[in-house]
Amino acid sequence: MLCTQRTEHSEKSGVDRQEQVTVACIQFEPVFGDVAFNIGKTIELIEHAANAGACIIVLPELCSTGYVFHSKTEAFKLAETVPSGPASKAWSEAAQRLGVVIIAGIAEVESQKLYNSAVIIDSSGVLGVYRKLHLWGDENLYFEPGNLGAPVFDTQYGRVSVAICYDGWFPETFRIAAIQGADIVCIPTNWVPFPAPQAEKEPIATILHQAAAHSNSLVIACADRVGIERGQKFMGHSLLIGHTGWLLAGPASGDREEVIIGNVDFRAAKCNRTLNQFNNLLDDRRTDVYSSFNGLNIKAND
């Protein structure tokens, strides 16, 4: 099924944009090291999402390889180059056939360096790569910090920004996306459980990303994985958050393969940044104050 929805023309980018866009977050359990199986599984789930009307489809972090590496040598063996790697090629073919945009996590190798990356693909092929800026835990042993900044990608369905997992714990991630005119932040993630009070039912990741969506009037799509890999449990709970901060789809379960789908309105998201006749979420920033902190390297215990 080819994704077709009503579009509007954007003078800024020169491309057609959707008024209403259907977004899907795919949650599943990759098999560590079985790249062929994982790619095949993602294609099956991408087709399911596209047949349900999704035009923007987000998959988890490192979904073609698995997450828990035991050595840098192991990570190198599973990593791929872009755009010639097996996952990049398979997803590009699917995006062209189905007329969708795909954002998916890979282990990327370039110039003998490894990155925890996401490819951004549309029907023309790979639009670009995002490399995770903030590495979590043992990722620091295998991957280099991202060196491509925080780009926003123009697609026929809207302006797409990307973050990966721990990037979402930094409010700058979402503010920079909003300043650059992003319509949506797509987040491939491998969330692990965080301790919580016994009475608390919502994972902190859900609360954190709802707050980011609200404070920037941004749509945020988080695609997590499930399962236990080499002793590490992953928590699922993929979700699609509207620009007001309230959920449009999900959270998904904590232990099952699911495709969550919702409709978003990018025009309303940008209009909503003007809160009333006096206030706008971006215009009200006190950059005169913030600028005094530029260049300071403040550590946690300073």
Tell whether 115 is covered by a domain.
Answer: yes
Report whether pLDDT(15) > 70. Answer: no
CATH number at 204 reads 3.60.110.10
Give yes or no: 25 in active site: no
Mean pLDDT value of segment 259-276: 93
Give yes or no: 113 in active site: no
Report the largest interatomic distance among the alpha carbons of the chain, rounded to a whole angstrom: 57
Number of compact structural domains in the chain? 1
| Segment among 6-20, 54-68, 265-279, 288-302 with least mean pLDDT | 6-20
**pLDDT attached to residue 106:** 98
Question: For 7, what's the count of Cα atoms within 13 Å in the CB-facing half-sphere?
Answer: 14
pLDDT band for position 195 (cuts 50, 70, 90):
confident
| Segment among 120-129, 164-173, 238-247, 276-285 with least mean pLDDT | 276-285
Tell whether 4 is covered by a domain.
Answer: no
The residue to which tokens 């073919």 are assigned: 93
Q: What tens digit of pLDDT does each residue of 133-157 get? A: 999 999 999 999 999 999 999 999 9
Q: Which residues contact 226 (CB under 8 A, 6 or more apart)?
A: 27, 28, 29, 234, 235, 236, 253, 254, 255, 256, 257
pLDDT band for position 13 (cuts 50, 70, 90):
very low
Tell whether 259 is covered by a domain.
Answer: yes
**pLDDT attached to residue 77:** 97
**pLDDT attached to residue 194:** 84
pLDDT band for position 233 (cuts 50, 70, 90):
very high
Tell whether 15 is covered by a domain.
Answer: no
Tell whether 86 is covered by a domain.
Answer: yes
Q: Which of 25, 165, 186, 222 is catalytic?
A: 165
Q: Which of 25, 41, 132, 139 is catalytic?
A: 132
pLDDT band for position 201 (cuts 50, 70, 90):
confident
Domain range enclosing 147: 22-285
The pTM of the full predicted model, rounded to 2 decimals, is: 0.92
Report whether pLDDT(124) > 50. Answer: yes
Tokens of 131: 């490399």
**pLDDT attached to residue 75:** 97
Mean pLDDT, the chain, as a whole number? 92
Tell whether 48 is covered by a domain.
Answer: yes
Report whether pLDDT(251) > 70. Answer: yes
Question: For 214, what's the count of Cα atoms within 13 Å in the CB-facing half-sphere?
Answer: 9
Q: How far is residue 221's CA from residue 160's CA, in Å, rounded to a whole number? A: 11
Q: Which of 25, 41, 55, 61 is catalytic?
A: 61
Backbone φ, ψ for residue 233 (5° rounding): -90, 140
Q: What tens digit of pLDDT does each residue of 18-36 get? A: 568 999 999 999 999 999 9
Tokens of 201: 């039912």
- Helices 171-179, 204-216: axis angle to 10 degrees equals 30
Tell whether 172 is covered by a domain.
Answer: yes
pLDDT-above-70 percentage for the chain: 90
**pLDDT attached to residue 290:** 85
Tell whether 296 is covered by a domain.
Answer: no
Give yes or no: 165 in active site: yes
The better pLDDT of the pair 302, 207 is held by 207
